Structure 1
Amino acid sequence: MTPPATVAVDVGGTKIRAGSVIDGNLAHVRSVPTPATAGAQAVLDTIAEVAAAVIAETSGARGAETGGHGSAATAGRGSAGFGGLVGGGDGSGSDFVWRIGIGAAGVIDPSSGLVVSATESLPGWAGTDLVAELSARTGLPVRVVNDVHAHALGEAAAGASRGARSCLLVAAGTGIGGGFIADGHLLTGRNSAAGHIGHVPVAAAAGLGCPCSGTGHVEAIASGPAVLETYRRLASGSGERVPGPAEPAAHEHSHNQESANPSSSSSGPNLGSDHDAAAASANSASVPANTRELAAAASAGDALAIRAFDIGARALGSALGGIVNVLSPEVVVIGGGLAEMDGIWWGPLREAFAADLIPAASGTQLVKAELGQDAALIGAAGLWNDDCGQKKETH
């Protein structure tokens, strides 16, 4: 019997990653730029091409192991090469029975395969029928889910939340998203929009514009770009416009501890202290260009950088505490670029999270993701497992 194999694909606004998953093992990973500005059809063509290359490389390696010839000669031929790679339209006729699992940016309906909505990072992506389009290009069955939801499935299958009956995955980086899994089933909600953690309102973000066009959402104060913007306001001396997580009257029981820490943001809206003014003057000549540089500055002891991360981390921790009070997962897994920070970010995140939990939810674990960017690939491949929460065939 020919064994099954999955081409797992992670489609983002800047890059497309793909690899083969066989018996739960990820291999032959490739990464190519996303031709976002060229439109949805170009992105779909690129997905088909990288999938063909992964199949060819995997089959070639299989042939080398067994003394056969494999299919490496067809690598990189794109959709035109699929006939020789996988044989018939059912994915058979090669070394494996192939299928495709995709985690893609945008609000994705996993039942229909449609992109319900998307941001301008992928122009023309909204309305794309990923299943129909990619099945036509490849001749293979396709399943698809949102990319952050794929991350949640991956961490639940083989990462930080494996073995948990319920888990919340939070991706904290350029944006803030999430995925909730209960009893092996991914919660997608009405219109497949569940998981938009970044758009939970928080007091610390009051008056700040969010990328969704709203105001006051946690992403507007806690995402990587938002933290950098907070730092720039502090460094320019316009700190009075940076909300503090202590307004209004938040977490009063921890004020004494926080006030002893010069990096704490618990001093409320009055951020124009002598300490800040001196730090702003010292930093005005060398403002970090991106969040990575800001993280390095914080680790090196830059007081304003530490404060900016503290403000964002506390806002996110508070929001997550409220979400856990509603959903009560066994574990909360934090991934994304901000999760790579040290205690400067994790410390205030955990403190604010714990402070906002109700007693019944106290002790909920808050842990770092384990699989990195591979989580989305493992999760996308898991769409073909019986227990992944996929309730309807999508091919």
Structure 2
Amino acid sequence: MSEVRTFPVVAALDIGGTKTAAAIVTRHGEIVDRLTAPTSGRAGATAILDTAADLVARLRASVTGTHVRAVGVGSAGVIDHRTGRVLSATDTLAGWAGTDLSGRLRDLLGLPVTVINDVHAHALGEARHGVAAGHETTLFVAVGTGIGASFVIDGTVLAGAHSTAGHAGHQPSPYAGGLACTCGGHGHLEAIASGPGLTQEYSRRTGQRVDDLRAVAARAADGDAVAREVILLGGTAVGSAVGGLVNMLDPGAVVVGGGVAGLGGPWWQALRDAVRRETLPSLDDVPVLASALGSDAALLGAASLAWEGTA
């Protein structure tokens, strides 16, 4: 009786505040199959982990002819990159802070588990498989509900001494004035340039309540001058901050992603113009690129870490 051959793969997880995605990924960064489910954020850490483990188990059962060797995870929250423990998290994920994410998933799945923050995972995906592939250093900036960043050097994330590197949204911004930030501080970039920040800025300027940034974008498309000004403000604020980071880090490329980056041409033009106003002349040729992999980037980045752990 001949031996049944299987080809090695890893599983990847992207655990976010609203959605958890899972995928089976080859060594070359090809996604074989994927599943998603709502994140049970209000139900606590056990429910979140059960959802994640169930997605991986279902994929392992459905993708025949493969052998899952390890699991890579990109997760919301501040993650200790050495232990895989969640150091802190927002209230979106109840009870997430303090969770031994690596250990508990290992127990549930019986596989080696590597964990990193989700923005860092996204950065790794773009640096290794996306628009920044081939660059020695990459600065990734995610602009969405919050604003985060990651610096990748030779395929390795700069996590920082306290695993907290990349909180780009919590640097002072001249465009934020004294606005309150979600971190408890004031005048930070996230307060003015994140999705909620831009939505609130439109309401402050008009006195009109809008549900979210999509509504502001729709009004801008319909010719609302204030909505357009707010969108340009967001791009300018992010670009100014990115320009300062480029001066400090001298990356080979900048990649910008996240939901706010989908606002379109005017936002991007404002961002790129602001970057160029801030950067030193010798850095004028640093490309500012749009994320090419979208939501797959975090999965591919997490998977690449899992593969490293199997070497």
Per the normalisation by structure 2, the TM-score is: 0.95
User: Does residue 7 in structure 1 map to residue 7 in structure 2?
Assistant: no
Q: Is the 8 A contact 2:23 2:299 kept in 1?
A: yes
**CA offsets per residue over residues 146-166 of structure 1, 9 Å max, x none?**
001000000111111111110
**Residue aligning to 1:301:** 223
User: Does residue 315 in structure 1 map to residue 286 in structure 2?
Assistant: no
**Residue aligning to 1:81:** none
**Residue aligning to 1:228:** 199
Q: 2:49 aligns with which of 44, 58, 63?
A: 44
**CA–CA distance in structure 2, aligned partners of residues 334 and 384 of structure 1:** 24
User: What is the Cα deviation at residue 205 of structure 1?
Assistant: 0.8
User: What is the Cα deviation at residue 300 of structure 1?
Assistant: 2.5
Is the strand fraction higher in 1 or 2? 2
User: Does residue 364 in structure 1 map to residue 286 in structure 2?
Assistant: yes
**CA–CA distance in structure 1, aligned partners of residues 221 and 125 of structure 2:** 30
User: Does residue 179 in structure 1 map to residue 163 in structure 2?
Assistant: no
**CA–CA distance in structure 2, aligned partners of residues 168 and 296 of structure 1:** 30
User: What is the Cα deviation at residue 48 of structure 1?
Assistant: 0.9
**CA–CA distance in structure 2, aligned partners of residues 12 and 361 of structure 1:** 34
**CA offsets per residue over residues 133-180 of structure 1, 9 Å max, x none?**
011111111001000100000011111111111001111111111111
Q: Is the 8 A contact 2:11 2:68 kept in 1?
A: no
Alignment: residue pair count: 305
Q: 1:58 aligns with which of 63, 70, 74?
A: 63
For the aligned residue pairs, the C-alpha RMSD in angstroms reads 1.4
Where does structure 2 lack aligned partners over 5 or more consecutive residues? none
> What is the correspondence of 1:327-338 to structure 2 with a 5 Å cutoff?
327-338=249-260
> What is the correspondence of 1:101-250 to structure 2 with a 5 Å cutoff?
101-236=72-207
Q: Is the 8 A contact 1:104 1:146 kept in 2?
A: yes
**CA–CA distance in structure 1, aligned partners of residues 204 and 36 of structure 2:** 36
User: What is the Cα deviation at residue 378 of structure 1?
Assistant: 0.5
**CA–CA distance in structure 2, aligned partners of residues 29 and 385 of structure 1:** 18
**Residue aligning to 2:25:** 21
Q: Is the 8 A contact 2:144 2:260 kept in 1?
A: yes
Percent identity of equivalent pairs: 47
The 3-state SS of whatever aligns with 2:115 is strand
The 3-state SS of whatever aligns with 2:285 is coil
**CA–CA distance in structure 2, aligned partners of residues 142 and 32 of structure 1:** 20
**Residue aligning to 1:276:** none
User: Does residue 350 in structure 1 map to residue 259 in structure 2?
Assistant: no
User: What is the Cα deviation at residue 2 of structure 1?
Assistant: 4.8
User: What is the Cα deviation at residue 3 of structure 1?
Assistant: 3.3
Equivalent position amino acid for 2:267 in 1: W
User: Does residue 339 in structure 1 map to residue 251 in structure 2?
Assistant: no
The 3-state SS of whatever aligns with 2:63 is helix
Structure 1 runs, 4 residues or longer, greater than 3 Å off: none
User: Does residue 31 in structure 1 map to residue 2 in structure 2?
Assistant: no
Q: Is the 8 A contact 2:10 2:26 kept in 1?
A: yes
User: What is the Cα deviation at residue 97 of structure 1?
Assistant: 4.1
**CA–CA distance in structure 2, aligned partners of residues 223 and 127 of structure 1:** 27
Q: Is the 8 A contact 1:298 1:344 kept in 2?
A: no
The 3-state SS of whatever aligns with 1:203 is coil
User: What is the Cα deviation at residue 299 of structure 1?
Assistant: 2.3
Equivalent position amino acid for 1:182 in 2: I
The 3-state SS of whatever aligns with 1:8 is strand
